[in-house]
Structure 1
Amino acid sequence: MKTLYILDGHNILFRSYFAIRGMTNPEGESTNALFGFIRSLYKLIHDFSPSHLIAVFDGPESKKSREEIYSAYKGHRKGMPEDLLPQLLYAMEFCSIAGIPHLEIPGVEADDTMGSIAGWAAKRGALVYLCSSDKDLCQLVDDKIFMIQLHKENLLVDKKKVKEIYGVAPEQITDYLGMAGDPSDNIPGLEGFGPKTAAALLQEFQTLDAILQHPEKVAGAKKQEELVRHKEQALLSRKLATIDLSVDFPKQEEFFALKSPDVEKVKAFYTKMHFMSLLKELESKAPQEALTREAEKKPEKGEYRLVDDEESLRELLTLLREQRELCIDTETTDLRAMHACLVGIGIGFEAKRAWYLPANGKLGKKRVLDALRELFSLPHLSFFGHNLKYDLHVLCNEGLEVERISFDTMIASYLVHPERQRHNLDQLALENFAFVKTPITDLIGSKKRQKSMEEVPLPQIAAYCCEDVDYTCRLKEFFNERLKELELLSVLKNIEIPLIQVLLKMERAGIYFDQAAMERLSKEFAEKIHESQAEIYHLAEEKFNLNSPKQLSHILFTKLEIKPPKKIRTGFSTAAPVLESLQDTHPVISHILNYRLLEKLRSTYVDALIAQVFFPTQRIHCTFNQSVAATGRLSCQDPNLQNIPVRSKEGRKIRSAFKPQKPHWSFLSLDYSQIELRLLAHLSKDPTLTEAFRSQEDVHATTAALIFDVPLKKVTPEMRQRAKAVNFGILYGQQAFGLATGLRIEYKEAAAFIDVYFKRFERVQEYIEFCKKSVRKTGRAVTMLGRQRPIPEINSKNPQIRALAERLAINTPLQGTAADLIKLAMIKVDRLLKEHPQWGMMLLQIHDELLFESPDLHVKTLGQAVKEIMEGVIELNVPLTVEISIGKNWEEC
């Protein structure tokens, strides 16, 4: 055995778990960490062709030995994420069938097992490579033991590299951690002894023992006192950080030899996990080649150039003018788009080549902007990027406009994987090309020591930005093919790409509110909150922390002896649904709910809104997200204006503070009426529901008449309300239990309502069954315009997961189509406003509603024109109806 590679299984799984999100198999089980683990394993095998390799995992109760020394060891860590534990077991199962030796020893941490194996192998003459990013393992590095950081392009860490990274030699690492501590393992170290201080002292004194023997020689009275008072803590910290090299393990060389994979079992495993790219490779290649083929996709380094002189710029512009599409990526001073100034821009048009133009270099900002202005004006050129809307904002801040957009890789990723919450470039490069991009913290640091991008040396920022451009080009090619395969290209080209410019204009327009009125509202809410607190304390007969669930639970369920409906792991729940169900049991409950409402309105909305006013415009500029909601709906943040309450009196007061900034202007609201029910009528082709909409009847009253078997004229408000709950419950796949809870009625009564509903609307029930059957077969729900949502959980063996998936299968085609339609309407309205800019501007989209700011002279004309667009955006077998409201503030609309 000449070489041995030891893979830190837990380290790779945890890193992959947080780097790759949103992957599940058809059973609904998370597979992101497992996928990352297998990719890392393949990469290691491909890059180093090892004959001997072992994956090491923490054993059960692995913290026990160190907890006996220090009870708080790793005590700050939450338990392993619920969906990671099964992936750990799957990782070990994969190792077994793929011929990868693996080991977990009960009661032993992976570090100790790895250290013991490494020491044994090195003594036998082998070169040992520890594949991990855990700094604890640096103490093992010597002339025969090295570390490889797979996530940093196989960075080899030898004795020299340890000294370069930490400022100390490998044999000093435990002393270093004894002083600096290790927050990741909750090793305390010494207060005031950070990494730099620890390294400097060890360079001077060589060992921790020498430092502790002569504390008076250390500069600074506080440090001297800390060394004296907490000497034992430093020694304890060193002991906790010291790897145990005496772990017993199999010491036969053949135990560590790679074996041949069981190809059929690996195929079955990939199929179960839905790793289709890996399965495809396995089926098309020889067994051993197939297990490393995915890693062979290791990307080549790109050719990146800094352009900071006139000759280079002229050459680049000549080349760029000949292209049809250009990728752009800006480097800026601020993540907030409206606040950001341009530091530089990366440009490219194909993979592996990119250029960086600094705005703060020798060329000067004006020359760079003039060059960009020329490029953006060329009619044959279009532009693409990753999260391009942000870059367009930055360019707008500098007086530049980009009209022609062809692609956005973030949105493309979202269309392929709408269930994922994140689509950042780093994650996509890792997942699709096994490439670890340079972390931004390598350039600007983090937290208190973070610096501006303007301070980063030009060669460093150029390489970073060009890397972004390079991988955006690679991702464009990759996702273009995926979108074609999934027949999603039309959704990107016809809906999402044109919408970017629409949202850009809306975000830049912002919305105005009366700050003085909002400040008065803040004071009013504060007074009411104080009154609610006083009443609660009076009824509870003592003061306590209202924001502490534990203290509140004690007051309600122990002192006041209210019967709790639900117990959770930490006691009795005080969540809003629980308290709402208890409102009739004690007067204090309604005061608590009122307190929570007021506190949330004041902190989340009123005070937060005041703080987010953009000084130059005196308006709020929120961000609309195209790549968050799995249904295709837009979301809103910084601030979220879609969530300002509309039903409560206090929420309406907040809305009333929003008003046009100019005199003689008004707000105009246009809202689709019952769009999802109308889509249900169209898609189900139910004759009763269709006729109700065609006849412009009150559909809820019609439903009530059918359910309660009474003439339409005899439908009471209560009947209508219950029918409305059934109608909307059906849209979301609600069952009898959910309906009973919502209406506060008995389960049997709710079940009877649903049973009668489906007898009256038979085609609706058929459509619901069709949706579920279709998704079970294809694994995806599809909207009328072709947007897709993967729902593999519909085949889960877990009944709760399966039931949720069935509800999504029913609702997604309705809610997703509604989202598509309002987006199409927004695109058409934007064209209208281009032709008639004097009519006003579009400000917000709140689900099925559009809000405009318009001069009084044109507001009715604009309202009628937008109504026609929204109602005619698609042809259905029932009419789309839009309601118009005009007011001098948002609440009046």
Structure 2
Amino acid sequence: MEKDVIIIIDGNSLMHRAFYALPPLTNKDGLHTNVIFGFVNMINKLIELYKPKYIAIAFDRKEPTFRHKEYAEYKAKRLKMSEDMAEQIPYLKKVIDAMNIKRLELEGYEADDIIGTLSKMSDRENIKTLIVTGDRDAFQLITDNVHVLMTKKGISEMEEYDRDKLLERYSISPEQVIDLKGLMGDASDNIPGIPGVGEKTALELLKQFGTIENILENTDNIKKNKIRENVENNRDMALLSKRLATIITDAPLDVHIKDCEYEEPDYESLAQLYEMLEFKSFLQKIKAVHLKSQDNQVNVDADIDVSEINDSMALKGLMSKILQEKKITFKISQDDNGSPDYVFIAVQSQYFYIPINGAAIDFLKDVMENANIEKAGHDIKSDILILKTIGINIESIIFDSMIAAYLLNPSKPDYKLKSIYNEFFGNIINDYESKEGDKVKNYGNSLKAIDELMKPMMDKIREMGMESLYKDVELPLAEVLADMEHEGFKVDKDRLRELSALYSERIDKLTQEIYELAGEEFNINSTKQLSVILFEKLSLPPVKKTKTGYSTDVEVLEKLSDKHPIIDKILEYRQLLKIKSTYVDGFINIINEKTGKVHSKFNQTVTATGRLSSTEPNLQNIPVKTENGREIRKVFVPKNEDYVLVDADYSQIELRVLAHISGDESLIQSFIYNEDIHTRTASEVFGVDKELVSPLMRSRAKAVNFGIVYGISDFGLARDLKIPKKEAKLYIDNYFARYPMVKKYMDDIVKEGKEKGYVTTILNRIRYIPELSSANAVQRSFGERIAMNTPIQGSAADIIKIAMVRVYKELKNRKMKSKLILQVHDELIVEAHKDEVEEVKKIVKEKMETAFDLKVPLIVDINVGMSWYETK
């Protein structure tokens, strides 16, 4: 017999998670609603997944607790709750009450203590208990019956911790969690701990001694002198910290488990609240299921009949149905070896799955390559890649729910189908990524979910003016990226090995030079040891202090570069070490043995600006400002001697976009007349004729030009140019005086962002900026910089994507041997057959320079070489 389940939710933890995980949502009255929406989503998900008999939500109260009385500084450094969050709490509690979920608060105690007391009760009654929180403090409550559901990635995913999982992840038992806190403290709660003891040291001590009390009794056995001294000098603080971290399990809670039994919600009250809050998806569901309305009924929970097609006659029948409908929704599944094993197809509201073998491959090729059959799916790029392995291409993609969700909110932590569906319909499904349930039914659920999402998502995309961006840019781009991933980029493995040996020699030489300058050997990679050398032995002035001592990060070292010759050596040492480990040795390990290439994954739905990113390996981040970094590009070569690399790079695209968006005539004229924009800016800012502009003036004007694009402050410019802040402010003021429409654009876009909660690009790509409404001045300033930059950087991303699609299509339509294989920032690389080089150059230049009609010309620089290095 299965145990009853109780879910106990840490209300304050989940509120904060929801607030920072979701974009700012408001109803027509201006009430912020993202916390409430995220919280309700989570409750629905938990009820659906775990079907609890009991459920309760614990909240903190405003009054001081017994911990504040024992230690006045407890939680003293906590920032005041954002007004945008605080205003939602009364409404959230009304929703919880309407859902008939037990809501618990207790004066003088924290939510943790309520959770601890309630979990102790349920444990005694042998009830399976799930504590839902984002706070690791709850790990101390774990028992055989009590587990912790730790939220991650905002509130969309949860990870269950029991004793074994806690031991595996943190090497401690639940009982030792409070000892860990007592040793290392907790900055968020302002629990002091022992100075100099971080998580790693605390875990080592607990592994050796077990508890704080045992550590204090055996300090003579602590090997490290400094740690031993700190422990001995802070005995009382360690014990106080442990007490503060200990969750109470016998609080005077006037409630019994049976009082938390989950009952049917008050649907009438809930509907009224949802209507006021404008939670249309939640409202539709309860109207459809519980208030007897037939509008917008959601049926994905219903049993789905997915039929197997496994003979030629059945395939012919299915083909006839598809040709009649001219539209399918599909998904390809893979076996444990990554090979395609089944195709799942929905047509005319019927669901089928077909083993991919024999005649099915011919059937699949006929369906997928038929341009008259429209295709819909989720993450179709992955399906294109899978089918390419068996020689099948996909034509006529009309809908991808993952890309649609990304356009509607580019800041989400993930774009899994189940979370997208839940967001629109307030319902949880077992989709194709689910590890639980029947695989066939899960894939059937996925197809049904995609079909149900298509209309509301496309309506929203049209409403936001993004239909062209979606259909003409992002959907066809999925095919381009899949082809680039499939093609890969050839890497000269022998050259990589040579570089590895060369960098090892340089690193060894630098190491010895650093030792000589320091006057002793030490661990250069240790912040602590390096700090001693720099700030104690060599008496260099410390720049920045952290909790553990003086910082030795790059910014600090660069400020000290003129103080001692050891600094430049350390900077070069770090640079070489990173290049060797990340790019040289790292690339050697990921070269595909069959192709001799690296097949980077291009991510279409990751960055909030709309730019692409790449992983495994990340080719976007190969350093190009130093010769050591540029050396890496020498290993990227054409696939064989019949090919060369054609590299096309937009010239100053972001500044050209700025000229277009701002409409500043001086800036526009500079580009129309093909002036050196940095020389022109230097002339304007420094008030001299262009002929008298010195290299230093041009360099500083260049920093201003590109800094303005990113909303740079006088402080930031002063830091970058190593000049006084007053001088930097003068440069910026002079710039805006000469380019007044740029200043107007920046003021206007920040104002617009604050009014709407988002900004857009030239193709109406949207980016929400919750920081603009933050009560925190630092966050608000950050939001303003995002507002200034996103339309520029995002528009540049739009343009390069348009260019990619057009170049790819032209090469494909002409059936050329040359292939587009890489995009990095504003640069495209085509692996061109030697017989097609001139034709490729013309195609790439024409398609890139006419990708979008700006008020200024788009200029592309093209180079050809036998390696990526040679093309720059």
Cα distance change of structure 1 residues 464 and 642 upon mapping to structure 2, 3 Å threshold = same
Q: 2:834 aligns with which of 856, 869, 876?
A: 856
Distance in 2 of aligned mates of 1:548 and 1:535: 17
Cα distance change of structure 1 residues 297 and 137 upon mapping to structure 2, 3 Å threshold = farther
Equivalent position SS for 2:366: helix
Distance in 2 of aligned mates of 1:545 and 1:480: 57
Q: Give a deviation string over 1:86-137, Cα, whole Å, max 9, x none.
A: 99988865554446352245265454322466599x9xxxx99967579978
Q: 2:688 aligns with which of 710, 726, 732?
A: 710
Q: 2:362 aligns with which of 364, 370, 388?
A: 370
Corresponding position of 1:542? 520
Q: 2:323 aligns with which of 318, 321, 333?
A: 321
Q: Give a deviation string over 1:485-505, Cα, whole Å, max 9, x none.
A: 222122100111111222222
Distance in 1 of aligned mates of 2:723 and 2:272: 52
Distance in 1 of aligned mates of 2:352 and 2:386: 18
| AA in 2 matched with 1:542 | E
| AA in 1 matched with 2:519 | E
Corresponding position of 2:116? 112
Cα distance change of structure 1 residues 29 and 575 upon mapping to structure 2, 3 Å threshold = farther
Q: Give a deviation string over 1:688-738, Cα, whole Å, max 9, x none.
A: 111111111111101111111111101000000111111111111111111
Equivalent position SS for 2:597: coil
| AA in 2 matched with 1:613 | I
Distance in 2 of aligned mates of 1:35 and 1:744: 47
Q: 2:603 aligns with which of 606, 622, 625?
A: 625
Q: 1:426 aligns with which of 418, 426, 436?
A: 418
Shift of 1:251: 4.7
Q: 1:332 aligns with which of 321, 329, 334?
A: 334
Equivalent position SS for 2:346: strand
Distance in 2 of aligned mates of 1:862 and 1:139: 66
Equivalent position SS for 2:279: helix
Corresponding position of 1:612? 590
Is structure 2 residue 391 aligned with structure 1 residue 399?
yes
Corresponding position of 2:701? 723
Is structure 2 residue 285 aligned with structure 1 residue 309?
no
Contact 1:12 1:37 in 2 (8 A): no
Distance in 2 of aligned mates of 1:780 and 1:180: 41
| Equivalence map 1:844-883=2 (5 Å) | 844-883=822-861
| AA in 2 matched with 1:739 | L
Is structure 2 residue 517 aligned with structure 1 residue 552?
no
Q: Give a deviation string over 1:9-42, Cα, whole Å, max 9, x none.
A: 1299669949994434589999877533223446
Is structure 2 residue 354 aligned with structure 1 residue 357?
yes
Equivalent position SS for 2:644: strand
| Equivalence map 1:246-645=2 (5 Å) | 246-251=250-255, 276-277=278-279, 281=283, 299-307=300-308, 309-310=310-311, 313=315, 315-333=317-335, 340-349=338-347, 354-359=351-356, 365-438=357-430, 443=435, 460-645=438-623
Distance in 1 of aligned mates of 2:369 and 2:281: 46
> Percent of counterpart pairs with the same letter?
32
Cα distance change of structure 1 residues 294 and 264 upon mapping to structure 2, 3 Å threshold = same
| AA in 2 matched with 1:23 | P
Equivalent position SS for 1:705: helix
Shift of 1:395: 0.7
Contact 2:23 2:770 in 1 (8 A): no
Distance in 2 of aligned mates of 1:521 and 1:148: 47
Distance in 2 of aligned mates of 1:422 and 1:617: 31
Is structure 2 residue 717 aligned with structure 1 residue 739?
yes
Is structure 2 residue 56 aligned with structure 1 residue 39?
no
Corresponding position of 1:56? 58
Contact 2:7 2:54 in 1 (8 A): no
Distance in 2 of aligned mates of 1:462 and 1:19: 36
Shift of 1:576: 1.3
TM-score, length-scaled by structure 2: 0.77
Q: 2:743 aligns with which of 765, 768, 773?
A: 765
Distance in 1 of aligned mates of 2:473 and 2:64: 52
| AA in 1 matched with 2:304 | E
| AA in 2 matched with 1:347 | I
Cα distance change of structure 1 residues 813 and 147 upon mapping to structure 2, 3 Å threshold = closer
Equivalent position SS for 1:814: helix
Distance in 1 of aligned mates of 2:493 and 2:869: 16
Equivalent position SS for 2:602: strand
Equivalent position SS for 1:564: coil
Contact 1:30 1:83 in 2 (8 A): no
Equivalent position SS for 1:320: helix
Distance in 1 of aligned mates of 2:536 and 2:269: 61
Contact 1:776 1:794 in 2 (8 A): yes
Q: 2:173 aligns with which of 177, 182, 188?
A: 188
Equivalent position SS for 1:9: strand
Distance in 2 of aligned mates of 1:439 and 1:19: 26
| Equivalence map 1:128-139=2 (5 Å) | none
TM-score, length-scaled by structure 1: 0.75
Contact 2:654 2:793 in 1 (8 A): yes
Shift of 1:871: 1.5
Deviates more, 1:696-705 or 1:253-262: 253-262
Distance in 2 of aligned mates of 1:276 and 1:111: 31
Corresponding position of 2:862? 884
Contact 2:645 2:831 in 1 (8 A): yes
Distance in 2 of aligned mates of 1:713 and 1:263: 75
| AA in 2 matched with 1:249 | L
- Give the alignment's Cα RMSD to 1 decimal: 5.0
Equivalent position SS for 2:531: helix
Cα distance change of structure 1 residues 440 and 867 upon mapping to structure 2, 3 Å threshold = closer
Cα distance change of structure 1 residues 419 and 817 upon mapping to structure 2, 3 Å threshold = same
| AA in 2 matched with 1:767 | Y
Distance in 1 of aligned mates of 2:347 and 2:825: 36
Cα distance change of structure 1 residues 243 and 567 upon mapping to structure 2, 3 Å threshold = closer
Q: Give a deviation string over 1:70-89, Cα, whole Å, max 9, x none.
A: xxxxxxxxxx9999999998
Number of aligned residue pairs: give it: 770
Distance in 2 of aligned mates of 1:621 and 1:10: 43
Corresponding position of 1:103? 104
Distance in 2 of aligned mates of 1:99 and 1:428: 23
Deviates more, 1:83-92 or 1:572-581: 83-92
Corresponding position of 1:210? none
Contact 1:669 1:884 in 2 (8 A): yes
Cα distance change of structure 1 residues 554 and 63 upon mapping to structure 2, 3 Å threshold = farther
Equivalent position SS for 2:830: strand
Corresponding position of 1:212? none
Cα distance change of structure 1 residues 118 and 505 upon mapping to structure 2, 3 Å threshold = closer
Distance in 2 of aligned mates of 1:721 and 1:368: 62
Distance in 2 of aligned mates of 1:326 and 1:826: 27
Distance in 2 of aligned mates of 1:840 and 1:878: 30
Corresponding position of 1:207? none
